[in-house]
Amino acid sequence: MADRETFNRYERAQAIPFSALLLAVAVGVLWIVVRVGMHAHRLAAAQTAADATALAAVVAPSTAPDVAAANGVDAVSIVAEGGGVIVTARIGRVERVGAARGSAVDARGLAPALVAAIGTTEAAMGRSIPIVSGARSEAEQRRLWEHRAENPYPVAPPGTSLHERGLAIDVAGWFVPALARFGPSSGLCQPLPVVDPVHFELCRKKPSR
């Protein structure tokens, strides 16, 4: 009996260091996984920021710094090259490069905040948004109003449309489902998904309580 108790105590004594070793290994593996995950997240964030800034730079250059700041960039370099731009964005110690050529949208008359949201959304989606109608003059809005019976979507009276202020866009119908999924996270919202699904505008801030 005494020999058995001695053997059991010996086994328990041997098991303690082994358990401690297993715990140390598990903690080490977890630390590595967390570090790798954080690095991957920083890489993705920096790439998104670089792409969004590049798109903004070719659409409306004055908005590019604001887009970079909105995406958490600590330092950014924008270099014009070959009819496009190359952007180097740094977040923390991570740097990524983005590039864009030409203009993804006709930015004439669009508000800078809307252009920035379009650029961020296009970067997140990895494709251009097919915009069929952007900013409109009052005369253009009046023509639409006068022919509203021929339009499958509602038309606002002249002087009341956000398009006249450069604060709204209409997109191709086939693109609506994809933009409805990605847009809100970048600031593009679909206020009338049933009656006017092609219409997107800047997301409105919820009133504070």
Ranges of each domain in the chain: 1-103, 105-209
How far is the C-alpha of 135 from the C-alpha of 131, rounded, in Å? 11
Terminal Cα-to-Cα distance of the chain (whole angstroms) = 74
Give DSSP secondary structure letters for 136-196: --HHHHHHHHHTGGG-SS--PPTT--GGGGT-EEEE-GGGHHHHHHHHHHHTEE-S-TTT-
Name which residue leads in pLDDT, 4 or 201. Answer: 201
pTM (2 d.p.): 0.51
CATH topology of domain 105-209: Muramoyl-pentapeptide Carboxypeptidase; domain 2 (3.30.1380)
Highest mean pLDDT of the ranges 55-64, 103-112, 120-129: 120-129
For residue 104, the model assigns a pLDDT of: 47
Name which residue leads in pLDDT, 13 or 107. Answer: 107
Half-sphere exposure of 179 (CA within 13 A, CB side): 30
Lowest mean pLDDT among 75-79, 102-106, 108-112, 166-170: 102-106
Share of the chain above pLDDT 90, in %: 21
How far is the C-alpha of 125 from the C-alpha of 116, rounded, in Å? 14
For residue 68, the model assigns a pLDDT of: 86
